[in-house]
A and B are shown apart, each in its own frame.
Chain A
Amino acid sequence: GNSVTQMEGPVTLSEEAFLTINCTYTATGYPSLFWYVQYPGEGLQLLLKATKADDKGSNKGFEATYRKETTSFHLEKGSVQVSDSAVYFCALSDSGGSNYKLTFGKGTLLTVNP
């Protein structure tokens, strides 16, 4: 079956530091890949996505590139802010028939200190 493995963290950085959260996946076919973010006490928000190999998703300074050869979708940001503190989830979607089921990684807690 499908699976997603990501850095478990927690990750603690100082403001303006470089961020990488690793994510690798196992899937049949050609899944779409996502990063979701969960701020404290809130639901999940889509941060970025990529639907095919070599696509780069980007949003709010975050980027991730769909690497089919390494089955990876690492999340990066050049300079983090305190407001980026949240839990980040890597996910893939499995187009089973007419429905898309999200399979999530275990989440990575990021804390950014001023």
Chain B
Amino acid sequence: DTAVSQTPKYLVTQMGNDKSIKCEQNLGHDTMYWYKQDSKKFLKIMFSYNNKELIINETVPNRFSPKSPDKAHLNLHINSLELGDSAVYFCASSQARKNEQFFGPGTRLTVL
């Protein structure tokens, strides 16, 4: 009965590779988010989708491309991975016009 789930939990890859992280929520929420947590634990929003439409796109390199096939899923595809992409990526969801967000367990990405 996991509310917000992410796969994989850990991802280790080489520089230059392309990888995807998947997120699913079973809360019936309309809005989903991706956040990046760096090595100092600082959290910053990357993207937000509302009903499959991109709403927030912070200053994220265009190597990062979110995809929302339906409102329960928001995947993150990263091209040409760089060392600086190493971080923990959190997915979150909320009901539209509600400000409480529910977070997934995170995906720890390590780029070697």
Q: Which A residues form the contact surface with B (CB < 8 A)? A: 32, 34, 36, 38, 42-46, 49, 51, 87, 89, 93, 95-104, 106-107, 109
User: Which residue numbers of B lie inside 8 Å of A, CB to CB?
Assistant: 4, 31, 33, 35, 40-45, 48, 50, 55-56, 90, 92, 94, 96-106
CB pair A98 B90 closer than 8 Å = no
Q: How far is the CA of A26 from the CA of B98 in the complex (A)?
A: 21
A99 touching B44, Cβ below 8 Å = no
Which chain B residues lie closer than 8 Å to A103 at the CB level? Answer: 45
B48 A99 Cβ-Cβ under 8 A: yes
Q: Known contacts A97-B55, A99-B50, A99-B55; decide if A104 and B99 are in contact (CB<8 Å).
A: no
CB atoms of B42 and A104 under 8 A apart: yes
Mostly helix, strand, loop or mixed at chain B's interface? strand
**A98 pairs with B55, CB closer than 8 A:** yes
Asked if B105 and A42 sit within 8 Å, CB to CB, the answer is yes
B19, chain A: closest CB distance, angstroms: 20
Tell me, in angstroms, the Cα distance from A87 to B106 when the chains sit together.
15
Chain B residues positioned under 8 Å from A43 (CB to CB): 4, 90, 103-106
Q: In the assembled complex, which residues on chain B have CB atoms less than 8 Å from the CB atom of A100? A: 31, 94, 97-99, 101
**Seed contacts A43-B104, A100-B99; 9 additional CB < 8 Å A-B pairs:** A42-B105, A43-B105, A44-B43, A45-B103, A46-B101, A99-B48, A101-B45, A102-B33, A102-B92
